[in-house]
Structure formats: C-alpha cells, structure tokens
Amino acid sequence: MAKPNLDLTIIIPNYNTRGLVRNCIDSIYRLTEGISFEIICVDGNSPDGSAAMIAEEFPNVVLIRNQCNESYGRSVNQGLRIARGRYACLLDSDTMLIGNAFQSLVKFMDQTPEAAACAPKLLNADGSLQHDIRRFAGLGVFFLQTLNWHKLFPNSRIMARYYASDFDFSLSQQVEAIGTTAFVMRPSTWEGAGLLDERFRWAMVDLAYEYMLGKKGYKLFYTPCAEVIHFGSQTVNQDVLKTLREQCQGFIDFSDAYDYFGKGRLIKLIVRVGIRVRYYLKLLGYYVSSDKRVIKGPGRPSKEQAEHIALLVESSSPAVQQHHRREKPPVPAFSQSGSDANSVASQKGRRSFRRSEGHTIATARDKSGG
C-alpha cells in the first residue's frame, strides 16, 4: 500500500439503495469537517440507477461499477485495496451522519494506538439506541435466537449475554464483535491480518472477520464519541428468502472454515444439521409472521418505523434532489480506474431537508447539537 496521504477513506458497498446511499453520501459531505477524506462507492450493478446517480450528483466519489452484485466482502476488499487514508471506514449505504462523526473517530484512533478498529454508537431513526454489540456464543444460543427467546423470556441471562444487554454504551471499551455498519480500521489491521473473507455473500462475514481478528490478538473498540443513524438492513431485506438461504450457508461456511463450533467431523456434521433446522424454523417464521425482516433483534427499529423511514428516504423530493445537483461543482466523474481521483477535503455543510408526503427528515447540523 502506498503511503497514506488522507486521513480517512470511506468505503460504501451499494446494491439497489439509491435513495439511501444518496442520503448517506450527502450527510458525509455536509457534516464532515477538520479531516481530509475520500469516498469509494462499490456498486453491484444496481438496477435502480444508483451508479448513475452517484456519478452525476457526487462526481468526487470514486465509483467502482461491478458487472454483478458481488459479495459484501469482495466489494469492501476492492475499496480497501485502493484506499489512500490513514484509516478506512466500512460504511453501510443505509446510514446517515448526524454530526462530525468521522473527525471524532479519526481522533479516537489517533489517541488509542492499541485499537485495530473501532465503531461508533448506532442509533435508530427515532434517536433510540441500536444494540450492535455482540458476544460470541455457541450453537444453542443461535437456536434460542431463532425461537425469539429474548421475547419469550426477556430476563434470560443466556440471551442477555449474547445481546450484551448489560453493556454500558456511555463508555469507550474493548468488545468481542461490533459488526461493520460503520467500522474504522488501520491499514496495519487488514495488511497484517488479511482482508475480509470473500467466501461469504453477506451473512457472517463481519462475525468471521472480527472472530479472526480476536484470535490473532487484534483489539476492537466501541466508542460513543460519534453517533451514526442506521436505518437497518435495507439491502438484505430486498429478497428475504434468498437472504435466509445465504445466511444458512454462511453459518455452515463459518463452522467449516473457522472451526467455531469444533474441529471434529462429527461435530461439524451435527452443526450442519442444526443450522439446517434453524434455517427451516426461520423459513416457517417468515411465512407465519407479518414482520418479514431478516434482522429484528433487541434494539432494532420496529417494523413500521423501518418501513416508514426507508420509504421517506427512497421517495425524496425531486425538487430537493435537483437543488443539490445545481450546487455540485462541474468535476468529472471517476470510475475504478480513476483511483487517483481528487479526494475531497472536508466541506462545510449546508442546511438540507428531505421531504415526502408531508413528513420531514431533518439532516441539518442542529439535530446533532453540534
């Protein structure tokens, strides 16, 4: 890797989330100050015109246009290989900044040299806390999760440990697993431990990577110094049945490749059977439940809230979108071959609102109190 000449590279994998990724990128440019950064967006041939929108409305974004919807790990790795920042942030397309989060995260990494990676506090769209901290658990816990054990027995110690219900989100601290919704890494982390495992489509890729980092002695940190809104699993919910199949296969691959549940052939066979049973239980739940989302554990947004917010963002006012386009400077678009594209030093934000059906999503600086 060439010597970093920016503070941060932001890598956003995208598939078919045109309105959400527009909102995400717009919030980065409006609210990020005090650091130099670049944005790399890896689009999986989205049929909704995401790539064309990004090229037109955000010409400074380094845009990688894949011919098909690659796995999450492969898309992220494409960005990491050309990253020019002192740090890289893996950022989901269904997120939105509400303050100068990236400056705070860069500062945290600068001041915490033992941190191989960190992640901020995630919030639901209504400002409530989103529980993203996890502890590694055995197969039995995953079965109980499938049965919604945490809903049947809210005081269950087993599920409380897995969901880290006792976690103090007001303190920066080391964690076992934190997901990759907004995940800041040092180059020495992926150069020393390796890139994300491309065998996984999406399910388990974050858990596998963080499990591997932990085994190799790398430390992951949660920090409340920054907050990011996460609308929640908008990509994986586009085709739930396909996602459930991929989730099942991801569990099997994780067990086979990482010996997570045990090394013996008999153990792995039992695990495979268990994972298949778990898959069919989830499939049954899909058909009998009105909530068709894949991920809906404690601290996640309600079904109604997730649907409503996603609709508002996806149906942003054309007038507002045209207003943003008029304000963009006439800079040529960049593609994968243009990894030497002009990076964007922090730009002062402008006040902006997205409106739909009489509702308003405030994305202005005053919402963060900053």
Which among 32-36, 128-132, 284-288, 365-369 has the top mean pLDDT?
32-36
Query: Residue 27: what pLDDT?
Result: 97
Q: Which whole number is the average pLDDT over 63-90?
A: 95
Q: Which whole number is the average pLDDT over 285-296?
A: 65
Query: Can you read off the two tokens belonging to residue 92?
Result: 């989901």
Dihedral sign, Cα of residue 281, residue 286, residue 290, residue 295: positive
Query: Residue 192: what pLDDT?
Result: 97
Query: Residue 236: what pLDDT?
Result: 53
User: Which residues share a beta bridge with 12?
Assistant: 41
Query: Residue 131: what pLDDT?
Result: 84
User: Of 136 and 178, which is predicted with more confidence?
Assistant: 178
Q: Which whole number is the average pLDDT over 340-353?
A: 37
Q: Which whole number is the average pLDDT over 253-264?
A: 86
Give the mean pLDDT of the chain. Answer: 78
Give me the torsion for CA of 297, 225, 37, 211, rounded to 10°.
-50
Taking 70 as the threshold, does the pLDDT of residue 357 lie above it? no
Domain 6-342 has CATH 3.40.50.620: no
What percent of the chain shows pLDDT beyond 70?
69
Query: Residue 105: what pLDDT?
Result: 98
Which among 55-64, 65-74, 257-266, 324-333 has the top mean pLDDT?
55-64
Q: Which whole number is the average pLDDT over 50-72?
A: 95
Distance CA 329, CA 187 (A): 31
User: Which residues share a beta bridge with 37?
Assistant: 8, 344
Question: Model confidence at 194, in pLDDT bands (50, 70, 90)?
Answer: very high
List the domain boundaries for the chain: 6-342
Q: Quick one: three-class SS letters along the chain?
A: CCCCCEEEEEEEEECCCHHHHHHHHHHHHHHCCCCEEEEEEEECCCCCCHHHHHHHHCCCCEEEECCCCCCHHHHHHHHHHHCCEEEEEEECCCEEECCCHHHHHHHHHHHCCCEEEEEEEEECCCCCECCCCECCCCHHHHHHHHCCHHHHCCCCHHHHHHCCCCCCCCCCEEECECCCCEEEECHHHHHHHCCCCCCCCCCCHHHHHHHHHHHCCCEEEEEEEEEEEECCCCCHHHCHHHHHHHHHHHHHHHHHHHCCCCCCHHHHHHHHHHHHHHHHHHHHHHHHCCCCCCCCCCCCCCHHHHHHHHHHHHCCCHHHHHHHHHHCCCCCCECHHHCCCCCEECCCCCCCEEEECCEEEECCHHHHCC
Q: Which whole number is the average pLDDT over 205-214?
A: 94
pTM over the 0.85 mark: no
Query: Can you read off the two tokens belonging to residue 26?
Result: 């717009």
Taking 50 as the threshold, does the pLDDT of residue 335 lie above it? no
User: Which residues share a beta bridge with 185?
Assistant: 88, 117
Query: Can you read off the two tokens belonging to residue 247?
Result: 């989730």
Distance CA 268, CA 261 (A): 7
Query: Residue 342: what pLDDT?
Result: 35
Distance CA 61, CA 341 (A): 8
Taking 90 as the threshold, does the pLDDT of residue 173 lie above it? yes
Query: Residue 307: what pLDDT?
Result: 59
Taking 60 as the threshold, does the pLDDT of residue 80 lie above it? yes
